[in-house]
Every structure is written in C-alpha cells, then in structure tokens.
Structure 1
Amino acid sequence: MNPTDLAADAVITLAEVDRDAVAALLRQHELELVAVPAGQPIPGSFWGDEEAGIIGSSVFARPDTPIHSLLHEACHLIVLPPERRALVHTDATDSIDEEDATCYLQIMLADCLPGVGSARLMADMDRWGYSFRLGSTRAWFEQDAGNARHWLQQRGLLPGDAQTDASSPDPAR
C-alpha cells in the first residue's frame, strides 16, 4: 500500500514500510529491531497497545506499530550514551532536552525510510497527539526547534548534511 493512499486519520505503520530498511536504519545506530507478532504485548512499551517498546538496545514493534512511535523510541536510545542506553527499560528519560532532541531526530530519520519522509511523519505525530506550543509538529520543527537541533549538533547526532546546515533555526531563540 502506498502511504499517500491511507485514510486521512491513519498513521503509517511498520506493516506499510520496508521492514528491512527500518532494521538497517536502526543497525546504523547500534540498535536492533525486534519483531513482535501481531496481537502480542510489546515488551518495553511505555504507552502500551501498538506503541513501540525499548529495552537496552532493542526496539520492539508489531506490524501495527506506528512508524512515528518506532522512530521516537529508537531516537530515545540514540540520544543516550551507551552506558545509559544499556540500563533503559520502557522509559528512557525525563529530560526535556533529550525529549526535544528525540522528536527532532525522529523527524530527520524519517527521511531515511522509503515511503515515509519527514512531512508524513510530522503529520502522523500531529494525528497521534504530540503537542507543541506553536500548534503543530511542522511549526515546532521549522520555527522553534533550534535548541533541539543545537543539542544534537553538539553530540554529532544529526544525519549527514543536516549536521552543518547553516539554515537551521537559531539555538539561542
């Protein structure tokens, strides 16, 4: 199924994208995608239901797991140093800086997945209920995420050319 053919209120799920591409993206960050059979509880899921789970360096997902959830939980692990990552079970952090960096990075990494992309992911984040003070994920990402971008840049965690993109929002804002 082409993601653009989905109902307006549906979010793109793992079943609708190339699972090998998702696993390869996670491997680039020393993470493992663990497939959970349909209908089974997802280990390490903070939100329950179909939402992704994390334990150590593993990201758990079912076919009905939203890609935004899978990327969000994976990015929680990516932003952590290895010694903290190893201790994660279900809840990665209570740091606002890490949460913002996680949201920013998941949007960036969506462009690495064929059939997903950042625009689709941001729309799905809005559908799910992410809340940003400017009213939408896109507005936050384009106008208010300078601190998150700066945080990721300081740690060398932005993908490719985004690491040195001079058009990024001012982190001092």
Structure 2
Amino acid sequence: MSDPASVLVLGDIALRDAAALLAAHGLELVAVDDGAPIPGSYWGAPEAGIIGSRVYARGDTPVHSLLHEACHLIVLPPERRALVHTDATDSVPEEDATCYLQIVLADALPGVGRPRLMADMDAWGYSFRLGSTRAWFERDAEDARAWLAARGLPTG
C-alpha cells in the first residue's frame, strides 16, 4: 500500500470502539463535524488533534493519526497531559514510544490490527531507518519497548 487516500479513517470503524479504547486510557474522543477544523491538530485536518485529555477527530481522520495522537497523551504523566495543546512530544524517545504504542493498541480496534495500521503508516509517509514500519517495529524498536516498559505501559 502506498496511497495515502487508501488508509483506514475513523468513519471506517465503529466510533464507539475507538471511544472505548481511549476511555480505557483516561482519554475522551471528541467527534468533530465533517469539514470543521480539528482543534489541537498539529498538522491540520484531517489529522487528529489533542488538548489536555481530549482527542479530536473527524470521520476522515486516519485511524493511525487518531491512535498516534492518543498515544502521545497516554505516554505522558497526568500532570504533563493536562498542559498539552496541539504538540505533546518533547523527545525522540517519547516519539518512538508513541509510534510503538499506537501499533500495539491497533489490535484493540476491530477491523484495524497491527498489520493494517503499519501499512497505513507507511502509506501516509511515516519514516523509519529500516525502510518500513514493520521492519522498525520487529527489528529496531528495543528502545521504544524499554521506554514503555519502564513506565508500565503496554509493549506487546
């Protein structure tokens, strides 16, 4: 897959499943009307946005973006999460952990799963030194797994 237009979007999955996954991590999914600006979106629509413990997304928001932005909040301690508006990353290790966790959490969304999410990340243009998301996840993400494990976050 190499066409960004072919990635799964929020409208392709059950909104309640995505909301339940985020709620399990103390986050609220806020559905944004089609065509409306997405609050807290770093890259702009259709990318998801984050403000505090809320993740904003529209029906055309890619699932990988929804998970990525949610994972930015999940990896933060509550005191830092409360201060987030649009940009949550303060380090490369944190960004790597976010990418890793979004792949892990994809299995919790019916109709998504790791293989599809990794293909969508590649199609969207995520860049890893081994050339693909799967190669990075399987062979080069020890540091991300260790970062997550040290904080008691899911790694498998």
TM-score bin (small chain): over 0.9
Which residue, 44, 49, 53 being the options, matches 2:49? 53
SS of 1:93 mapped into structure 2: coil
Count residues in correspondence: 154
Given the alignment of the two structures, is residue 121 of structure 1 paired with residue 144 of structure 2, yes or no?
A: no
Q: How far 1:123 sits from its partner (Å)?
A: 0.3
Does 1 or 2 have the higher relative contact order (CA < 8 Å, sep 6+)? 2
For residues 21-70 of structure 1, the C-alpha deviation after alignment (integer angstroms, 9 at most, x for no partner) is: 10000000000000000000000000002000000000000000000000
Which residue, 99, 111, 127 being the options, matches 1:103? 99
Question: What is the rounded CA distance, in whole Å, between the counterparts of 2:79 and 2:132 in structure 1?
Answer: 34
**Structure 1 unaligned residues grouped into runs of 5+:** 1-6, 163-173
Given the alignment of the two structures, is residue 94 of structure 1 paired with residue 90 of structure 2, yes or no?
A: yes
Question: What is the rounded CA distance, in whole Å, between the counterparts of 1:12 and 1:27 in structure 2?
Answer: 21
SS of 1:60 mapped into structure 2: strand
The 5 A counterparts of 1:11-30 are 11-30=7-26
Q: Which residue of 1 aligns with 2:149?
A: 153
Question: What is the rounded CA distance, in whole Å, between the counterparts of 1:95 and 1:144 in structure 2?
Answer: 18
Which residue, 74, 80, 97 being the options, matches 1:78? 74
SS of 1:54 mapped into structure 2: strand
Question: What is the rounded CA distance, in whole Å, between the counterparts of 1:8 and 1:41 in structure 2?
Answer: 26
SS of 1:152 mapped into structure 2: helix
Instruction: State the TM-score, normalizing by the size of structure 1.
Output: 0.87
Question: What is the rounded CA distance, in whole Å, between the counterparts of 2:45 and 2:71 in structure 1?
Answer: 20
Given the alignment of the two structures, is residue 39 of structure 1 paired with residue 35 of structure 2, yes or no?
A: yes
1:8/1:148 CA distance change after superposition, 3 Å: closer
Q: How far 1:94 sits from its partner (Å)?
A: 2.7
Given the alignment of the two structures, is residue 138 of structure 1 paired with residue 108 of structure 2, yes or no?
A: no
Question: What is the rounded CA distance, in whole Å, between the counterparts of 2:51 and 2:36 in structure 1?
Answer: 16
Amino acid at match of 1:62: R
**Structure 2 unaligned residues grouped into runs of 5+:** none
Amino acid at match of 2:124: W
**Aligned-residue CA RMSD (Å):** 1.1
Amino acid at match of 1:11: V
Structure possessing the higher radius of gyration over alpha carbons = 1
Instruction: State the TM-score, normalizing by the size of structure 2.
Output: 0.96
Which residue, 48, 59, 71 being the options, matches 1:63? 59
